[in-house]
Copies of this chain bind each other. A is one copy, B any other.
């Protein structure tokens, strides 16, 4: 499997390299960076010493990259990724694209443009939304995959069984998510400055985070109707991990057992979803470094609500790991390949 990574110096790119180093058939051809071209990657990320010591190429090499690669992972900011996707597939119609940003996540381009404030320039792409557990059969056929956001992966996995089985009031969905700081990337900002975050917690982007329409679109499709949700992200002082606590009103007469059945039915055979059952408490650290999503749910008889909780590692199941999972599916490689490691605990 000949692989290139365009935009490899962010945390997502580094995580792809970490994971692909353990993938038996992965061969890294090109990795690019516009800011630090020609630098060996292990000078930027010394932890990769012995695993990837390749020198960074740049987008100037896109011809070679598109021609020689079977799959390109894109780790660029939104707006830029679709440009690379468009050009690369023009150069080589057979190259597959897995974009870790938002450019290929939306079927409705109006919503994309409204939330991301840029025109969509690759509308003909026919991309598939790569939440593997929900869209496996389409991913299998996909030429371009829009890899889901980190918050969205956790939140959708938590809510999909309830929505799909029609168990909840669709107007009642509230998602309160807590994320480690690596989700904000390696770019410097006061908001990611160690001393500012230490011993602190805060919410941000209330009612305005861009993962909101992504969750709405996917759940809406499952429900067969449009819906709006509240999604509130919080920053907690850890490097990795997302915990997504999801609230919804159960429809009248829905029993706790029906809730249980919805989870079992959708995920009973999924390797990367570990069901902790009703009353179970997912812990982000139990997924650290892995592609697992741990799920637990609770039914509150007093209020008639269900509280579903998902834990993931935002850089793995929320980004690089799910991207590799999708690659495996697209190329008919056994889905766990390269991803079947136990979490780093404690």
Contacts and interface: CB of A to CB of B under 8 A. Distances in A.
Interface of A: 11, 14, 17-18, 21-22, 45-51, 171, 174, 176, 178, 180-182, 184, 186, 188-190, 192-204, 206-207, 228-230, 232, 234, 236-241, 243, 245, 247, 271, 274, 276, 281-289, 292, 294, 298-300, 302-303, 305, 307, 309, 311, 340-346
B342 A204 contact: no
B174 A238 contact: no
The 8 residue pairs across chains A and B that have the minimum distance between CB atoms? A200-B285, A207-B300, A176-B176, A47-B345, A47-B343, A188-B188, A47-B286, A198-B239
Contacts of A236: 178, 201, 236-237
* Most chain B CB neighbours (cut-off 10 Å) among A178, A281, A288: A178
Contacts of A228: 302-303
B199 A199 contact: yes
A181 B18 CA distance: 25
A201 B307 CA distance: 16
Contacts of A18: 342-345
Contacts of A302: 207, 228
Nearest to A239: B198
Nearest to A183: B195
Contacts of A190: 186, 188
